[in-house]
Structure 1
Amino acid sequence: MEKDKLKLTSSEIGTLWGEYLNGTAVDIVNRYMVSIIEDEQIKAIFEDAIKTFEKQKQQIVTFIKNEGFPVPIGFTESDLFKGKPRLFTDIFCLNYLHIMTLHGLLGHSTSLGVSVREDLRFFYDSCDNDGKRMYHQTIDLLLEKGNFQRDPLFYPAKNPEFISSQDFIDGFFGKGRML
């Protein structure tokens, strides 16, 4: 079978549809946030995210239209209520973008995993690269501003320890232990 004549599978169409709907939802939130953010460094990252998705959105629309499917409605400018009072701090917005970037990375990897057509695989590779770039930017800026919440540290014991009793299973079969 000639790979340049492959039709998109139901999984591939489904991932494009999902990418479009999720992307337009996040894009509207990003547009709201960029309208309220005062910190120029944070605003620049959001503006980059908006431009990045616009590029991806155009590619998704091309894929969908070329297969003869209607383009999903998604979220549009009519869903953005400009001029509303500020709801979030700049740091909250940056944390939101960081978390949404993590979700995007997971979504792109999943979409890549069900994609056979080469052009679609390259598209998801590109989306993944954009996501990784955004991931690094958000962490770096959160660290610079002293607002990145790291996982708790774990301090190793000096020597290995062996279990000498079965007290750790109390509660499953016995009296339980106090918190």
Structure 2
Amino acid sequence: MSNANKHMPFPELTANEVSNLWSSFLMNSMQQRLLEYFLASTDDSKIKQIIEKILTQSQENINELKEIFDKENLNAPQGFTEKDVRIDGIKIFSDTFILNFCFDLTHLSISTYPIALSECTRNDIREHFQRNIAFTVKIQDEIVELMLSLGVYLKPPQVAIDSEVELADSFMYLNGFFGGSRPLNAAEIANLSRIIHRAQFSKMIFVTFSKLAKTKDLKQHFGKGRDGIEKVLNSLKEVLDKENIPISASGDYLISNVEASPFSDKLMLFFVNTCLGIFCFTMVNQAMTSSLRTDVVSKLGKISDDMKKFYGSGLLLAIKEKWFEQPPQAVDRKV
């Protein structure tokens, strides 16, 4: 920020800025608690360094966001406290699983921070999100490099692509339900493989959380998520299998059996509703808009509808348990 602008009073926050700051606080609060446990239970020194960097960034973000809320006379969210994690708990996840977990957290940041930046006008708020975007890109590069060196990075399919430029000469290009459907194009292959890799990770989250959850309702909810993800995998793999397009299998997601969860039910549900829910919705909707074969669009539409029902029930569960913090809202002007 230039010296000329440092002493200029900031305009009041817009509704978009308040919403994005609120969401950023909750996301960083969640990350802080997850990463505290990962740091205490990881054995690999290189993975520890990754965790330490993300944890430090999350803690700095929380402090900065608290200052902004305080200056604007707004109450900061409660978020998650030390009661939501047991960092002295025994090791549950393999180091590879933890590395993939960290990779997933960067995906959430990459999908949300740029949107937040585009909606903000105040210099200090824009700088907050710009710093986070730059950090996320850098740490994601480090994670990918480490995953490649460990041989655990799931690469997208590599297939022979027809290099000749052609124009579609009939509406049959869109057909996928009946005979004579064309091969998948590069965008469709990329979309399906991206969702499958995401679903493989999500399945293991649901398997793990269904074991760790304390309440019956949450165990059942995570169990439904596991079954739903299995249907997604079967549906999309069927399309790729018919065209002999290979897809990487999921990595080492070994977990240990434990009696006590290191995470609160509140924290696990929030992770599922945000990291899995929001990011998956974005991914599926992007795939629907760029896929042209009718059978692929139909499958993605079914997946989107099922996700709306599942994550809607997750939100209702959070409200029922009194875990859902209402975002700031406008003064009721109708009174």
TM-score interval (norm. to shorter) = 0.7 to 0.9
**Cross-structure match for 2:177:** 171
**Structure 1, unpaired ranges of 5+:** none
Distance in 2 (CA, whole Å) between partners of 1:167 and 1:131 is 39
Counterpart of 1:12, as a letter, is E
- Aligned pairs for 1:1-179 within 5 A: 4-157=9-162, 169=175, 171-172=177-178, 179=242
Counterpart of 1:169, as a letter, is N
Q: TM-score normalised to the size of structure 2?
A: 0.48
Distance in 1 (CA, whole Å) between partners of 2:68 and 2:60 is 13
Q: 1:61 to 1:149 in 2, by over 3 A?
A: same
Query: Structure 1 residue runs of 4+, over 6 Å off?
Result: 160-165
Counterpart of 2:149, as a letter, is E
Q: 1:168 to 1:11 in 2, by over 3 A?
A: closer
Distance in 1 (CA, whole Å) between partners of 2:71 and 2:26 is 18
How far is 1:161 from its partner?
A: 7.7
Spell out, residue by residue over 1:124-154, the C-alpha distance to the aligned partner (whole angstroms, 9 max, x if none): 1111111111111111111111111110102
Spell out, residue by residue over 1:89-130, the C-alpha distance to the aligned partner (whole angstroms, 9 max, x if none): 101111111111011122111111111101111111111111
Spell out, residue by residue over 1:64-98, the C-alpha distance to the aligned partner (whole angstroms, 9 max, x if none): 11100112110111111133232211011111111
Distance in 1 (CA, whole Å) between partners of 2:99 and 2:121 is 34
Distance in 1 (CA, whole Å) between partners of 2:12 and 2:124 is 12
Counterpart of 1:29, as a letter, is L
CA RMSD of aligned residues (A): 2.6
**Structure 2, unpaired ranges of 5+:** 1-7, 182-241, 243-335
Q: 1:4 to 1:167 in 2, by over 3 A?
A: closer
**Mapped contact 2:31–2:55 kept (Cα < 8 A):** no
Counterpart of 2:121, as a letter, is V
SS at match of 2:18: helix
Distance in 1 (CA, whole Å) between partners of 2:81 and 2:30 is 8
Q: TM-score normalised to the size of structure 1?
A: 0.86
Q: 1:117 to 1:93 in 2, by over 3 A?
A: same
Q: How many residues align?
A: 175
Counterpart of 2:116, as a letter, is S
| Larger displacement relative to structure 2 (149-158 or 17-26) | 149-158
Distance in 2 (CA, whole Å) between partners of 1:54 and 1:31 is 11
Counterpart of 2:11, as a letter, is L
Q: Which has the higher contact order (CA 8 A, sep 6+)?
A: 1
Distance in 1 (CA, whole Å) between partners of 2:122 and 2:88 is 43
Q: 1:74 to 1:158 in 2, by over 3 A?
A: closer
Q: 1:88 to 1:68 in 2, by over 3 A?
A: same
